[in-house]
Amino acid sequence: MTQQGTHDAVRDRYAAAAREALESPTTGTSCCSTQATDPITVGLYEGSDTPSDAALAASLGCGNPTALAELATGEDVLDLGSGGGLDVLLSARRVGPTGTAHGLDMTDEMLDLARRNQAEAGIENAQFHRGTIEQVPMPDASIDVIISNCVINLSPDKDAVLAEAHRVLRDGGRFAVSDIVLLREIPDALRGIVGLWTGCVSGALLDSDYVARLGDAGFTDACVEVTRTFDRDDLQRMSDMVGDHLPEGWTLTAIIDALDGAFASAFVRARKES
């Protein structure tokens, strides 16, 4: 796929998810499935005092970055690919009225959903912006913490995303995202399956490559911490990502074999030097 084709496929997938959530706010969706029991997204916010039930139901993530980012009162936070707004709203409560939580998304339907969820939660120190994570519409050195939840893997130009994250962070700012990472390489034939890309798998970076690219972008102290792995039963439940168009010479069983143990949810940390 071209970069524009990837953007279009991702936008279409998430616009459909947002429309579903707007029409049926109690229906859970995820980046990898329309099922609330999807193994990548299930159970991430259990026990959390979420500010909006609708935002929780529409959560599309693979982690809970707000629980790991150690946000402080008065900080300015930016969520790359904010979707239905759950992590923005959680961040807004953590930074308090002297801080601001910003959400960035390229999908109009997601922005509509996020703003509806913000109104439902009654949170005032949150702002949602339209744009891409490769070209962040915010000033240099305006943010203390970058968060993201299973979105950077969807970008066709991850170096641009990391460069933009570094640009908008203040000196000493933190990069603290949940994402899918590869633990070993996967066959090239699987990289071209649209459903595996929009489903957060085939566009993911190798864990060591993620760390290296953060360093190339100017970050220090980069590390990847695996937070959830997936077994063959999980892969079988996620098989709808492949769809009906298998690569030539491949069966669904062969694809599951190739992906078994190949990817995981992870928390990725780095820092911009002071």
Distance, CA of 257 to CA of 251 (rounded, Å): 10
What's the pLDDT score for residue 238?
Answer: 78
What's the pLDDT score for residue 234?
Answer: 85
DSSP per residue, 146-165 = EEEES-GGG-S-HHHHHHHH
What's the pLDDT score for residue 40?
Answer: 57
What's the pLDDT score for residue 35?
Answer: 41
Question: What parts of the chain have a pLDDT lower than 50?
Answer: 26-37
What's the pLDDT score for residue 15?
Answer: 67
Residue among 225, 200, 203, 228 nearest 29 (CA) = 200
Distance, CA of 41 to CA of 15 (rounded, Å): 18
What's the pLDDT score for residue 75?
Answer: 98
Query: pLDDT, tens digit, for every residue of 49-64?
Result: 676 666 656 565 677 8
Across the strands, what pairs with 205? 181
What's the pLDDT score for residue 195?
Answer: 63
Relative to beta strand 100-105, strand 126-130 is: parallel
Q: Which CATH number fits domain 3-272: 3.40.630.30, 3.40.50.150, 3.40.50.720, 3.40.50.620?
A: 3.40.50.150
What's the pLDDT score for residue 34?
Answer: 41
